Structure 1
Amino acid sequence: MKITLGGLAAGVGFGAGTSLINALSSPYGELGMPLVGTVWGKAAKVLSLLMDAGWSWAALAVVVGWLAGTWARGALVGALTLFAATGAYYVTDAFVWGAGTDMVWWWVVGLPLGLGLGVVGAAIRRPGVIGFLAALTVPVGAAAQMVVLPPRPHFTVTPAIILAEVIVWTAAALGAGWAAYRFWVASRATEAA
């Protein structure tokens, strides 16, 4: 029950936070206009590029699935977290921008993805190849998104875009390195036993 409520709270916080950061990073909205050219506006742009990416939403479901512990709880909490994040994102968007919503469509997409990603998160706890592959899911997903759909909302490459890309590539490399190290240590322990 605690992990379910925690997942819902994490989802609401992440979804609302992502929408708010997007509004703060945009020079076209009431919230973002005063921040144009300031360090806060630039920081909001980097955060927006990081948070409003598919891999970061996937990482949210994987993390809560990992915290849930079992595959069944991981699936449930992963789906509920993405459901809550999507609802909070679009409610905040409607409040901040007066924007329309694709919420129902993203709920339909997010439900099976949340179930699967929650299971992946719970599988990280498993030793061996299954845990190793599960631990690689977010780093490989982030790297794949950087290749296929990098965070470049326009043709001009800005320092914020470069910084966001460096952060993602660094985090993906560190995450993959952690997964490989963990797998290597577990393999050595199994061989020694």
Structure 2
Amino acid sequence: MNSSRTRAMSIFLALVAGAVIGALGALSGKFDTPIFHITGLVFSGGWSWACLAFLVGYARRSKIESAVLASSTLAVGVVVYYTLKWLSPVAPIGMSADGMEVEGVSSGMLAWGIAAFLFGAPMGLFGNLARIPGIGGLLFRLLVPLIAFVETSARLEAEAGNAAFGDVTWGTIRVLAVLIALALVGHVVWGWARSARKRESQASH
């Protein structure tokens, strides 16, 4: 009973996380403050959604459940995002909010909902495979930092100076991605060295 309750709670929390990331992405653009500008930049990036799917998969023991729950979590995020956009639209300058939402909400929700299932499932599976200890799971654990680095590098090159706090936010994310990747590699190397020393110590005795 406790095991079933714990499992159900973990599934519920994953779906709540999807709703939260969708809400943050949708609502951040409605407030003209630095923290919301930065939050909008973070949660509008594909890497943050990929990270969520990855972490959901990492937390599950079953590969099938990792894939299904990760894609479902992203789908919930997409639904919440576009629902909030529809309820409280913010139109770009020169556009009608009503017209923009009529055209954009249903098509956007459908397109990104499909993308959530297509890309969420493999990211969840990769998160599950990242549980493999040592070098076997290292490449999977490096996946999210790699995605974050590539995406933020591309945005810095293409959109530098176009978004408030954009350069600082993307640059910071890129640096953190490199540091996390180095830490992950260092952890594996340290574990390998410790195991080697342990084997040498046992052999000498």
Query: Do they superpose with TM above 0.5?
Result: yes
What does residue 145 of structure 1 align with? 151
Tell me the TM-score normalised to structure 1 length.
Answer: 0.82
Q: Equivalent residues in 2 for 1:40-79 (5 A)?
A: 41-79=33-71
Q: Name the structure 1 match of 2:193.
A: 188
What is the aligned counterpart of 2:168 among 146, 149, 163? 163
Does 2:88 match 1:96? Answer: yes
Alignment match, 2:177: 172
Contact 1:127 1:186 in 2 (8 A): no
Deviation at 1:159, TM superposition (A): 6.2
Q: Displacement, 1:188? A: 2.5
Deviations 1:59-111 (A, max 9, x none): 11111111223322211221111111111111011112052311111111110
Tell me, in whole angstroms, the C-alpha distance in 2 between the residues paired with 1:84 and 1:151: 31
SS in 2 for 1:68: coil
- The answer as to 2:20 corresponding to 1:13 is yes
The one-letter code of the counterpart of 2:174 is W
Q: Superposed, which structure 2 residues align to 1:123-142 within 5 Å?
A: 123-142=129-148
Return structure 1 stretches of 4+ with deviation > 4 angstroms.
none
On the 8 A contact 1:152/1:161 being kept in 2, the answer is no
2:54 and 2:127 in contact (8 A); partners too? yes
Residue 11 of structure 2 is aligned to residue 4 of structure 1: yes
1:16 partner amino acid: A
Q: CA deviation at 1:167?
A: 2.1
CA distance in 2: counterparts of 1:80 and 1:13, whole angstroms: 14
d(CA) in 2 for partners of 1:8, 1:76: 12
SS in structure 2 at match of 1:175: helix
Instruction: Measure the CA separation in 1 of the matches of 2:66 and 2:194.
Output: 27
**In 2 relative to 1, CA 149–157 (structure 1 residues): closer, same or farther, beyond 3 Å?**
closer
Aligned residues: 177
Q: CA RMSD in A?
A: 2.1
- Determine if contact 2:23/2:77 at 8 Å carries over to the other structure: yes
1:137-181 per-residue CA deviation (whole Å, 9 max, x = no partner) reads 11000111122233965x635661222023211220222022112
Contact 1:83–1:107 under 8 Å retained in 2? yes
